[in-house]
Structure 1
Amino acid sequence: MSRPDETDGFEPLHVVHAIHDAWPLQGIAGYGGRPHAFERRFDEERDDYAPDYELWPIDEETVQWALEQSAIFVRWREAFDARRTRMETFPALPEERLRYEELEALLVNRLNRPAGAGTFRALPQFKDLDLGARMTGQVRWTPLSPSPGSD
C-alpha cells in the first residue's frame, strides 16, 4: 500500500460496497497507510446523508476477501453489460455464486461498524473516482474527530 505522504495524502479506494447519488456510501479505503472500512453517516434531522463518514480499522485478510468478492462482481457486471448473463444471476456468475456467498458470510461481521471505541468521523475528498463496474479511485480523509492512535 502507498504511504499517504507519497500521494499528497490520497490513498486507495479499495472497494465500494454501495453508492448513492454518485457517491460511495460504504466500502474500504486506506487511511494512514492502513485499511479502514467506511460508511457515510445519515443525518436524521436533514433526512439525508451527511457530508462526513465514519471509519474504523480492519485487517488485511478482510481486505483480501472484499477484493476477491468485488472481482467476482466485476466479472458479473462485465458479462451483464455484454449481454452474456441476465439480471437474475446478480451479483455473481452462476459458476462463482457459491464463492461469492462464502465471502459474503465471511465479510458480514468483519465489516460491521464496531460499537463505541475504534470509530472516528472524517470528511472525504475523492480523486479519480470511477463508480462504474470497477468502482475505483482515491480518497484523502480529513478527520473531524480524533482517530484512534492520534494522540
Structure 2
Amino acid sequence: MGMAYGSTHPTRLRDGEEMTGYGRPETVHVENDWYDGPRAGVANIGGEPHRFKSLFDETDDEYLGTFLVWPLEEEVLDLEREQWQIFVAWNARYESGEVSGDSHPGYHGTNARWDEIEAILKPGRDEIPASARRAIAEMTYLDREVRYANSGPAYMLGWKFLENG
C-alpha cells in the first residue's frame, strides 16, 4: 500500500492507485459520520454537491483514506441540510448541558421529522452507484468558534481523484 499525506493524517491507498492534484477546499454541507476524520457526508466537488463515503478495510478492521463520491440531486441536498439543521440545534443544546446524549435526534422516535427524513435518505446513503469515483480528501479547518453550524461542519475538503477509480 502506498501513502498519500493530507493536512491531518496519512491516507492509505490500495496498490496501483495513483492521484491527480487536490482541488481547492470546498464546502462540506453535512457530516453524516466521523471517526478519526470525516467518513460520510455531503460536500461540494467542483462546485456541485456530492455524497462521500469512506471505504472500510474489513481485513485490517479500519477505515481507508479512500472515499467513494457521487453527485447528489438538489432536492436530496435540501433534505440533508434540513436534517443537519435538526442535528445542529440539538448539538447546541447538548453542549450547553440542556439535554443528554440520549435525546440525540438520530435515535429513532426522538424527533419525528428526523425519522421522516432518515427514511427518505437512508437508501441513497447506503446504495453506492456504479458511477461513484474513488478520491481522497484534504481537510482545511475553518476558523470559527463552533464545530457545527447550519452551514456545515468547521472544515472544508479538497478532493483528489484516483486515476483507477
State the TM bucket, normalised to the shorter chain: 0.7 to 0.9
Q: For 2:96, which of 82, 88, 96 is the aligned residue? A: 82
| Distance (Å, rounded) in 2 between the aligned partners of 1:91 and 1:132 | 18
Q: What's the counterpart of residue 123 of structure 2?
A: 109
Unaligned runs of 5+ in 2: 1-22
Q: Which amino acid aligns with 2:103?
A: T
Deviation at 1:108, TM superposition (A): 0.9
| Percent identity between the two aligned chains | 29
Is residue 2:154 matched to residue 1:136? yes
| Distance (Å, rounded) in 1 between the aligned partners of 2:76 and 2:163 | 25
* 1:111-134 superposed Cα distances (whole Å, 9 cap, x missing partner): 23334x211100101111689344
Deviation at 1:146, TM superposition (A): 6.1
Q: Provide the TM-score with structure 1 as the length reference.
A: 0.79
Q: What's the counterpart of residue 4 of structure 1?
A: none
Unaligned runs of 5+ in 1: 1-7
| Distance (Å, rounded) in 2 between the aligned partners of 1:119 and 1:145 | 13
Is residue 2:151 matched to residue 1:125? no
Question: What is the alpha-carbon root mean square deviation over aligned residues?
Answer: 2.3
| Distance (Å, rounded) in 2 between the aligned partners of 1:87 and 1:48 | 26
Higher RCO (Cα < 8 Å, 6 or more apart): 2
Is residue 2:75 matched to residue 1:57? no
Q: Could you list the runs of 4 or more consecutive aligned residues of structure 1 that deviate by over 6 angstroms after TM superposition?
A: none
Q: Which amino acid aligns with 1:65?
A: L
